[in-house]
Amino acid sequence: MALESVVLCAASAYEQKYYLNERFGRLPAQIQDELKIMCVLFTEDVGGILTLLFDPEGKLCLQVSADEGDLLFDEIGSELKIRKIQREKAELLKALELYYQVWVQGEVQDGT
């Protein structure tokens, strides 16, 4: 069985919406709030869409995309902000990877 990437959460500056994958609804409310704040502030600051997803190996990736004609999207600012998040939220991101590998991937491997 080939594993696929799994979206944790996403925020869009275009639709002004935030999404948390229901598979992660058991995360503590404080973690859910921190993810929401981080994603929404990111998109308000640089624009575009920020998606946090787990790759097939369980590594948490931060992906940024923007509409092709979006002249207000700050591509350089988005890269700098991603690095800042990875540095300042390293403990949270590592804990989320561990949670995913143990609880989500563990369920898939156990067949439950």
Q: Phi-psi region for residue 73, left (φ > 0), alpha (ψ -120 to 50) or beta?
A: beta
**Cβ(31)–Cβ(9) below 8 Å:** no
At residue 14, the pLDDT reads 96
User: What's the rounded Cα separation, in Å, for the pair 42 and 40?
Assistant: 5
Helical ranges in the chain per DSSP H: 29-46, 75-88, 90-99, 105-110
User: What's the rounded Cα separation, in Å, for the pair 105 and 112?
Assistant: 10
Per-residue pLDDT tens for 2-57? Answer: 478 999 999 999 999 999 999 999 999 999 999 999 999 999 999 999 999 999 99
Per-residue pLDDT tens for 51-109? Answer: 999 999 999 999 999 999 998 999 999 999 999 999 999 999 999 999 999 988 876 55
At residue 109, the pLDDT reads 56
Q: Phi-psi region for residue 16, left (φ > 0), alpha (ψ -120 to 50) or beta?
A: left
On the question of pLDDT at 112 being above 60, the answer is no
